């Protein structure tokens, strides 16, 4: 990762809907020909007897931002848990051309890292201690100090608060800390669950802009969101999940223009 100058450290990002940058301006791109980094086929998962996910097929190519959108209880978090091997599942998952490891620890070590819903920070630890926890599996200890500084360049607000207890920060700052902690693991694929939940639009915009920077540095992103407008504004492609099944997919622009998506999620028809 390079230590580029910070660019999103203030509250100056425009509010969504009015002066927000056009979706294209966030750098959406597709790489249709690339071999998938994550390839999921016929995934079924649930809790005990209760099946939640049915025959999920999904692929994410290197350096894509892919949105998984859907309403309350659609199964989005369950999908992330299944990919992270936190719950049992049936089906085939390939990561970087190999079968995905069977345990959560090995999945993490392979470079597939989740930013969980609700952040789940170590509240009574400082920001910097949280970030160091993200790097606990790394063997390149000498590179960690430089990567910490890089996180503070990406998230300048965290630099100001590096000694502050994570639990005492605002929701937006905690989300930044959770994302930075995940990035400290040097993930190939970062899966972010409900990043926007409870945050002001100006903060969501700032985080979405950060997402495009993270992708530009080579990290592939799966963004799981109830805020469909936010997710599609930054994604290259997306999938729509309803009651455990994929009911739509396409480029972000195709989904935004889809009357069903507009009716169900964008409040436009
Ligand atoms: P939300 O954003 O509201 O969390 P979601 O799309 O992430 O929605 P999930 O959390 O994956 O949805 O939930 C899908 C279904 O699985 C729901 O019916 C939910 O009640 C159920 N569920 C989720 N977690 C558990 C659990 N630990 N045990 C049993 N059922 C669960």
* Sheet bearing 38-47, strands edge to edge: 50-60, 38-47, 89-95, 98-99
Does residue 136 lie in a domain region? yes
Contact 105, 69 (CB under 8 A): no
Residues 139 and 165 in one domain: yes
Q: Interior CA angle at 165 toward 137 and 120, to 5°?
A: 55
Q: What is the pLDDT of residue 111?
A: 94
Q: Give the residue, by CA position, lying nearest to ligand 1 atom 28.
A: 47
Residues 103 and 72 in one domain: yes
Let me know if residue 12 belongs to a domain. no
Which of 185, 208, 233 is a domain's end point? 185
Residues 244, 143 share a domain: no
Q: 156 with 127: CB under 8 angstroms?
A: no
Q: Are residues 103 and 215 in the same domain?
A: yes
Assess if residue 73 is contained within a domain: yes
Whether 73 lines ligand 1, by a CB cut-off of 6 Å, is: yes
Token pair belonging to 98: 């190999």
Is 214 within a domain?
A: yes
Q: How close is the Cα of 82 to the center of ligand 1, in Å?
A: 12
Give burial (CB, 10 Å; 0-12/13-18/19+) of 146.
Answer: exposed
Same domain, 191 and 69: yes
Same-domain status, 139 and 258: no
What pTM, to 2 d.p., does this model score? Answer: 0.86
Domain total for the chain?
A: 2
Element (H, E) at 91: strand 89-95
- Has residue 35 been placed in a domain? no
Same domain, 208 and 238: yes
Same domain, 196 and 107: yes
Dist. CA 94 → ligand 1 center (Å): 24
User: Domain range holding 259?
Assistant: 62-88+99-111+187-269
Query: 220 and 235, same structural domain?
Result: yes
CB 204 within 8 A of CB 16: yes
- Shared-domain flag, residues 69 and 202: yes
Kindly report, residue by residue over 193-227, the tens digit of the pLDDT. Answer: 999 989 999 999 999 999 999 999 999 999 999 89
Q: Over the stretch 28-75, which tens digit does the pLDDT of each residue have?
A: 555 555 789 999 999 999 999 999 999 999 999 999 999 999 988 999
- pLDDT tens for each residue of 233-253: 999 999 999 999 999 999 999
> Does the CB atom of residue 226 touch ligand 1 within 6 A?
yes
In a domain, 194, yes or no: yes
């Amino acid at each position: 990762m390079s230590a580029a100058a910070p660019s999103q450290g203030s509250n100056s990002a425009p509010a969504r809907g009015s002066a927000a940058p056009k979706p294209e301006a966030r750098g959406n791109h597709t790489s249709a020909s690339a071999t998938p980094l994550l390839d999921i086929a016929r995934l079924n998962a649930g809790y005990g007897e209760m099946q939640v996910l049915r025959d999920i097929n999904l692929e994410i190519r290197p350096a894509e931002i892919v949105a998984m959108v859907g309403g309350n209880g659609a199964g989005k978090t369950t999908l992330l848990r299944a990919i992270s091997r936190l719950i049992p599942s049936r089906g085939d998952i390939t990561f970087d051309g190999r079968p995905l490891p069977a345990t959560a620890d090995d999945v993490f070590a392979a470079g597939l890292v989740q930013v969980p819903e609700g952040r789940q920070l170590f509240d009574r630890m400082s920001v910097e201690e949280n970030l160091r926890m993200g790097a606990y599996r790394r063997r390149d200890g000498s590179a960690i100090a430089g990567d910490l500084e890089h996180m503070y360049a990406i998230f300048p607000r965290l630099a100001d608060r590096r000694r502050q207890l994570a639990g005492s920060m605002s929701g937006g700052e905690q989300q930044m800390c959770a994302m930075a902690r995940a990035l400290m693991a040097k993930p190939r694929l970062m899966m972010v669950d409900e990043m926007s939940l409870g945050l002001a639009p100006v903060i969501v915009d700032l985080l979405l802009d950060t997402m495009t920077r993270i992708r530009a540095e080579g990290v592939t992103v799966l963004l799981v969101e109830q805020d469909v407008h936010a997710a599609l504004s930054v994604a290259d492609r997306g999938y729509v999940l309803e009651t455990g099944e994929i009911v739509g997919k396409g480029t972000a622009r195709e989904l935004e223009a889809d009357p069903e998506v507009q009716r169900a999620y964008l409040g436009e028809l």
